Structure 1
Amino acid sequence: MCIAVFLWRSHPLYPLLLFLNRDEYHNRPTEPLRRWEDGEMVGGRDVVGGGTWLGCTRHGRIAFLTNFREVCSNPNARTRGHLPLRFLQSGKSPTEFAEELEKEFDQYNGFNLVVADVCSQVMVYITNRPPCANSSLVREVSPGIHVLSNANLDSPWPKCLRLKEDFIKLLAGSKGGEFPMKKMTEKVMMNGDKDDEEAKLPGIFQPEIEFNLSSIFIDFQRPNGRYGTRSISALSVKCDGEVCFYEKHLEGDAWKGRTEEFTTQTRNI
């Protein structure tokens, strides 16, 4: 399902700070954070679909994805994990990519996709599940703090509000300085608090499932197997182009960490 909190163009040192939890069945084959074979891509890989939930490139392109929570889905729909890859591998701007993708929205189950180019300082939010009939499917993301879970961007789900509040506290504690990324991810992304009041839950699934999905960090047994937070990612981009991509991921029952660091480069056109 996934949940992310990010700060965009609102910090003196970091044009982008992003924390993201990937929630998935524990038995789904996954490759952890690494540099891909093309030498350009950095991120984890879903072995089943071949795509990713969060990736970036050495030229400052970033994309991340969450599924939209809904009861019914099309088993023959195209895999959503390819959407971040398509942007990262394309030469299109975030806006151009979004305009192209709009023509294919009906081929996918519900999704939220954020694509950004930190060099041009443009970030776009794309969804094929607008909050109402007249709402835009594509919009540029404004500077500030945003939370994305399994509803529309900045939807006021209780877990999203908790995450935003904790993130704001961490920002205040840093006083505009550098962030200890590993410690910060543990403080805000491993919160297992759940919502006891059924009225606060989205009410899309059965109450027991909604209750177990109501925490930022998820871990519970579903009919198809153990389900929950498989990886916790922290991605930072500094004003000088320095990128730090940290991932804490599960291998069996053990948590392991990896970090990839590089400096963004200008793409030759």
Structure 2
Amino acid sequence: MCIVLVTTAHPSYPLIILDNRDEFILRPTSRPHWWSENHQKILSSRDLQRKEQGTWLGITKSGNFAVLTNYRETDTHDVEHPIQGTRSRGGMVTAWLTAPEDESTQDFVHRLLDGEGVAGVGGFSLLCGKLRKHKDAKTGVEPLAIISNRCGTSEDVPWIAERRGEVYGLSNTVYDDPITWPKVRMGKEKVLEAVQGAVESGLGEQELVDRLFAVLDHDTLPKQEGGDFEEYIYQLRHSIFIPSIGIEEPKTALKPDATASPEPKAANGVEAKLATEMNATEAPTPTPGVMSGIYATQRQTIILVDWEGNVTYRERSLWEADGTPIERGKGDEIFDFKIEGWNGERKEIG
């Protein structure tokens, strides 16, 4: 039950993005690192459970950004919307992160929804866009699209983040669900409080980030008394942060997932030269997949984009690969870079 929160309310940052990835804590996942594909230099963690090694969130040097949330299909007879997709949801994120430089967000929306781009994929919503300063300097950034395989056609896609002073939220249902989940409503309120409080107090970037991480840490889930993860699914929509729930399984009982990569690619596709030049954190070797046991908020990400197109990307790991909890801040990775083409200039591809 992940959550994405986006705000344009801070005067120093046209865009701030917050994300909690809620997942089984033993699901093999790399740390964030730079990798390269289709002329794109991409910053993301990668899901090592499936052979596609997709991601739930990422950004490129040229400003392509995407973050994904999923939702469970319940109609077992709906062939067009399978409960278990044959294709990775994370592949939807990498489809945009590796898109041609000249493909606009609008073109990508049409490519996915007016063709076969989402066929065979489980339920998802994809917030994506090309981070660019809006032509109207008072507006902020170019709008972001929320694509879903429940959207219908490209004409039904919601667009957000074009106006200043706004907060948006997305969790594991469609964006325009008439019933707002409690965690989304709460998250939007708390993000706005954190931003306004930081501005009024004249706080710097680190203090702002601390307040935003506090939003992602907000836990209102009733205390769990054991029981399987499935018993708590409905309650998860009430809490921004998910503490560990479910029943821990003996590690000897873990079995390899047939979809996991049996052999790791060199540095998970990261070119050695690129990794050295950009201080990349190489991804670990893929390990057996896990879809049971303890479930919790596994990763937290905060992205700040300033008016010059400078990006600060922070990802916080809360669990080691073996399921050992990590002290807050000890598993943080921080990347700083400038978006190429932020002001609309074309990038030379070579």
TM-score (norm. length: structure 2): 0.67
User: Does the CA contact (< 8 Å) of 2:309 and 2:339 recur in 1?
Assistant: yes
Q: Which residue of 1 aligns with 2:13?
A: 14
User: Does the CA contact (< 8 Å) of 2:83 and 2:123 recur in 1?
Assistant: no
- CA–CA distance in structure 1, aligned partners of residues 44 and 220 of structure 2: 28
Q: Which residue of 2 aligns with 1:199?
A: none
1:162 equivalent to 2:186? Answer yes
Unaligned runs of 5+ in 1: 197-204
Do the aligned partners of residues 230 and 11 (structure 1) sit closer, same or farther apart at CA in structure 2, a change above 3 Å counting?
A: same
95, 118, 124: which is aligned to 2:131? 118
1:194 equivalent to 2:221? Answer yes
- CA–CA distance in structure 1, aligned partners of residues 146 and 237 of structure 2: 23
Do the aligned partners of residues 25 and 213 (structure 1) sit closer, same or farther apart at CA in structure 2, a change above 3 Å counting?
A: farther
1:172 equivalent to 2:196? Answer yes
1:146 equivalent to 2:168? Answer yes
Q: Which amino acid aligns with 2:48?
A: V
Return 168-177 or 59-68, whichever deviates more.
168-177
Q: CA deviation at 1:26?
A: 1.0
Do the aligned partners of residues 113 and 7 (structure 1) sit closer, same or farther apart at CA in structure 2, a change above 3 Å counting?
A: same
Return 237-246 or 12-21, whichever deviates more.
12-21
Q: Which amino acid aligns with 1:46?
A: D
Structure of greater Rg: 2
- CA–CA distance in structure 2, aligned partners of residues 76 and 118 of structure 1: 30
Do the aligned partners of residues 96 and 239 (structure 1) sit closer, same or farther apart at CA in structure 2, a change above 3 Å counting?
A: same
Map Cα deviations across residues 163-200 of structure 1 (whole Å, 9 max, x no partner): 1111110111122765435412331001110379xxxx
Q: Which residue of 1 aligns with 2:57?
A: 54
The total of aligned residue pairs comes to 258
Q: Which amino acid aligns with 1:2?
A: C
User: Does the CA contact (< 8 Å) of 1:67 and 1:111 recur in 2?
Assistant: yes
TM-score (norm. length: structure 1): 0.86
Do the aligned partners of residues 208 and 26 (structure 1) sit closer, same or farther apart at CA in structure 2, a change above 3 Å counting?
A: closer
- CA–CA distance in structure 2, aligned partners of residues 214 and 136 of structure 1: 31
User: Does the CA contact (< 8 Å) of 1:94 and 1:122 recur in 2?
Assistant: no
92, 99, 103: which is aligned to 1:90? 99
Do the aligned partners of residues 173 and 154 (structure 1) sit closer, same or farther apart at CA in structure 2, a change above 3 Å counting?
A: farther
322, 325, 340: which is aligned to 1:253? 325
- CA–CA distance in structure 2, aligned partners of residues 35 and 261 of structure 1: 12
Q: What SS does structure 1 have at the residue aligned with 2:234?
A: helix
User: Does the CA contact (< 8 Å) of 1:212 and 1:220 recur in 2?
Assistant: no
Map Cα deviations across residues 28-57 of structure 1 (whole Å, 9 max, x no partner): 110011212557100111012300111001
- CA–CA distance in structure 2, aligned partners of residues 232 and 153 of structure 1: 21
Map Cα deviations across residues 128-179 of structure 1 (whole Å, 9 max, x no partner): 124xx89954232243210000112264111111111111101111227654
* Identical amino acids, percent of aligned pairs: 29
- CA–CA distance in structure 2, aligned partners of residues 82 and 183 of structure 1: 31
Higher strand fraction: Structure 1 or Structure 2?
A: 1
- CA–CA distance in structure 1, aligned partners of residues 20 and 247 of structure 2: 18
- CA–CA distance in structure 2, aligned partners of residues 222 and 18 of structure 1: 32
